[in-house]
Amino acid sequence: MKTAKQQMLAGDMYQANDPQLVAERLAAKELVFELNALHPRATDQKETLLRQLLGATGSRFHIETPFRCDYGYNIRVGENFYANYNCTILDCAPVTIGDNVLLAPNVSLFTAGHALHPVPRAQEWEFARPITIGNNVWLGGNVVVTPGVRIGDNSIIGAGSVVTRDVPANVVAVGNPCRVLREITAADRERGFTV
């Protein structure tokens, strides 16, 4: 029989009040608390705590505080990753983020979900689905990414978007629910900053 952690990582329904999961979340919260309480000039200590918290990192990355996550060990960030203030990552399933990814303030990545029917939901049954963000992606402010979503390389998600479905590579996507607005083309290199 699978443990609750094995069920969680396999994408099965599980109960998050399992003692092992509660202990692991508490350990992550302690590291996050320490991270968020650091003086802004304590950059070496910040990097040490983040490397201890996260599952994998590139050699160059920066996460502004405050930052929040559930476990930390399910988060993998690539080279040259930047997350602005108030980033929240509910990493009950793996969150894989490529190289050169930018997250604007208040970005939320949610791998966790709850049962649709009220009876199992009241019994605290949950599920988790991985989130994958490709290379060279930019998520605007207040973007929410929901369980199981993949965002392709080079894409931009506009501010305030709620991403409930996969987004292909090389596009600008916006809205709630998020939809592809247009492709990113060679002309955008000359166009500059307009959508």
Q: What are phi and psi of 70, to 5 degrees?
A: -85, -55
Homologous superfamily (CATH) for 4-185:
Hexapeptide repeat proteins (2.160.10.10)
**Structural domain boundaries in the chain:** 4-185
The residue from 39, 62, 114, 117 that is catalytic is 114
Structure tokens at 101: 């990814």
Decide: 106 and 85 in contact? Cβ < 8 Å. Answer: yes
Global pTM value: 0.95
Q: pLDDT tens digits, residue range 83-128?
A: 999 999 999 999 999 999 999 999 999 999 999 999 999 999 999 9
117 among known catalytic residues: no
Place of tokens 């993949």: 150
pLDDT in tens, 116-153: 999 999 999 999 999 999 999 999 999 999 999 999 99
What are the tens digits of pLDDT across the range 146-179? 999 999 999 999 999 999 999 999 999 999 999 9
